[in-house]
Structure 1
Amino acid sequence: MNRPRPSHGVLDPLLRLLFPALMLLLLNGCSSIGYYNQLAGGQLQLLRGRTPVAQVAADPSRDPTLRAHLLQSQQARSFASQHLHLPDNRSYRLYVDIGRPYVVWNVFATPEFSLSPQTHCFPIAGCVAYRGYYSQGAARGEAALQKQQGMDVAIGGVEAYSTLGWFDDPIISSMMQWGDERLATLIFHELAHQRFYVKDDTEFNESYATFVEQEGTRQWRTYRALPPLNNTELRQRDQFTQLVLDTRKRLEQLYALPLPAEQMRQRKVQEFERMRRDYRQLRDSQWAGSTRYDAWINAPLNNARLLPFGLYDQWVPAFAELFKQVNGDWLAFFLAVEKLGRLPADQRKAALIKLPDAFAGQPVAAPVQ
Structure 2
Amino acid sequence: MKRIFLSLIMVMGLVVGLAGCTGVSYYAQTLKGHAQIMTKRQTVAKLIGDASTPEALRERMASARAIRQFATDELGLPDNSSYRSYVDIGRDYVTWAVFAAPEFSLVPQVWCFPVFGCVPYRGYFSRDIAIKTAAGLQQQGFDVHVSGVTAYSTLGWSSDPLLSTMFLQDKTYLAGLVFHELAHQRVYLGDDTAFNEAFAVAVETTGVKSWLRAAGDASGLRRYEAGLRRSAEFLALVAQTRGELSRVYQGSGTVAQKRAAKVEAIDQLRIRYRQMRQSRWGGFRGYDAWVEAPINNAKIAATSVYNDRVPAFVRLFELCAGDYPRFYKAVGRLGRLAKADRAAALETAKACE
Same fold by TM (over 0.5)? yes
1:234 aligns with 2:228: yes
User: Is the contact made by 1:66 and 1:176 (CA closer than 8 Å) also made in structure 2?
Assistant: no
Confirm or deny that 1:282 pairs with 2:273. no
CA deviation after TM superposition for structure 1 residue 138, in Å: 0.5
- Map 1:15-94 to 2 at 5 A: 15=12, 18-20=13-15, 22-25=16-19, 32-94=23-85
Structure 1 residues 150 and 327 mapped into 2: Cα distance closer, same or farther (>3 Å)?
A: closer
Task: Specify whether residues 334 and 257 from structure 1 end up closer, same or farther in structure 2 by C-alpha distance, changes over 3 A only.
Answer: same
The residue type paired with residue 279 of structure 2 is S
1:183 aligned to which of 160, 169, 174: 174
1:19 partner letter: L
Following superposition of structure 1 onto structure 2, how do residues 9-20 of structure 1 map, counting pairs within 5 Å? 9-12=7-10, 14-15=11-12, 18-20=13-15
**TM-aligned CA deviation for residue 108 of structure 1:** 0.9
Partner of 1:88, secondary structure, is coil
Query: Cα distance, 1:6 vs. partner?
Result: 5.4
Name which of 300, 308, 317 aligns with 2:302.
308
Superposition TM-score, scaled by structure 2 size: 0.94
Identity %: 43
- Please tell me whether the aligned partners of residues 7 and 160 of structure 1 are also in contact (alpha carbons under 8 angstroms): no
**1:192 Cα deviation from its structure 2 partner:** 1.1
2:326 to 332, 343, 352: 332
- Rate the CA distance shift 1:122–1:240 in 2: closer, same or farther, 3 A: same
Does the CA-based 8 Å contact 2:108-2:302 persist in structure 1?
no
1:109/1:327 Cα in 2 relative to 1: closer, same or farther (>3 Å)?
Answer: closer
CA separation of 1:52 and 1:271: change in aligned 2, threshold 3 A: same
Give the Cα separation in 1 of the matches to 2:58 and 2:4: 23
Name the residue aligned to 1:113: 104
Question: Once the two structures are superposed, what CA deviation does each residue of 1:199-228 show, in whole Å capped at 9, x if it has no partner?
Answer: 211121112111211221222122222223
Equivalent-residue separation in structure 2 for 1:251 and 1:6 (angstroms): 20
| CA shift in 2, pair 1:115/1:314, >3 Å | closer
Q: 1:324 to 1:6 in 2, by over 3 A?
A: closer
1:180-209 per-position Cα deviation (integer Å, ceiling 9, x unaligned): 121112111111110111121112111211
- The answer (yes or no) to whether the contact 2:99–2:121 under 8 Å persists in 1 is yes
Tell whether 2:285 aligns with 1:291: yes
Shift of 1:338: 0.8
CA contact (8 A) 2:8 2:151 kept: no
What's the offset of the Cα at 1:38? 0.3
User: Are positions 1:144 and 2:135 aligned together?
Assistant: yes
Structure 2 SS opposite 1:115: coil
Matching of residue 201 in structure 1 with residue 192 in structure 2: yes
Q: 1:252 and 1:354 mapped to 2: Cα distance? A: 25
> Aligned equivalents of 2:323 and 2:104: distance in 1?
46
After the TM superposition, which residues 239-258 of structure 1 pair with which residues of structure 2 at under 5 Å, given as runs? 239-258=233-252
Going from structure 1 to structure 2, the CA distance change for 1:32 and 1:294 (only over 3 Å counts) comes to same
Contact 1:203 1:315 in 2 (8 A): yes
Deviations 1:50-82 (A, max 9, x none): 110122233344432222111111101011111
Alpha carbon RMSD of aligned pairs, Å?
Answer: 1.8
Long gaps (5+) in structure 1:
360-366
Residues 108, 129 of structure 1: 8 Å contact kept: yes
Q: Does the 8 Å contact 1:7/1:159 carry over to 2?
A: no
1:225-245 Cα distance to aligned partner (Å, 9 max, x none): 222333322211111111111
Residue in 1 that maps onto 2:3: 5
Distance in 1 between residues matched to 2:321 and 2:233, nearest whole Å = 30
Q: Which amino acid aligns with 1:270?
A: E
* CA distance in 2 between partners of 1:335 and 1:38 (Å): 36
1:311 is displaced (CA, Å) by 3.0
Deviation at 1:319, TM superposition (A): 2.6
> In structure 2, what is the equivalent of residue 363 of structure 1?
none
Q: How many residues align?
A: 350
Match of 1:135 among 126, 147, 164: 126
User: Cα distance, 1:346 vs. partner?
Assistant: 2.0
How big is the shift at 1:318?
2.8
Say if 1:154 and 1:320 are closer, same or farther in 2 by CA, change over 3 A: closer
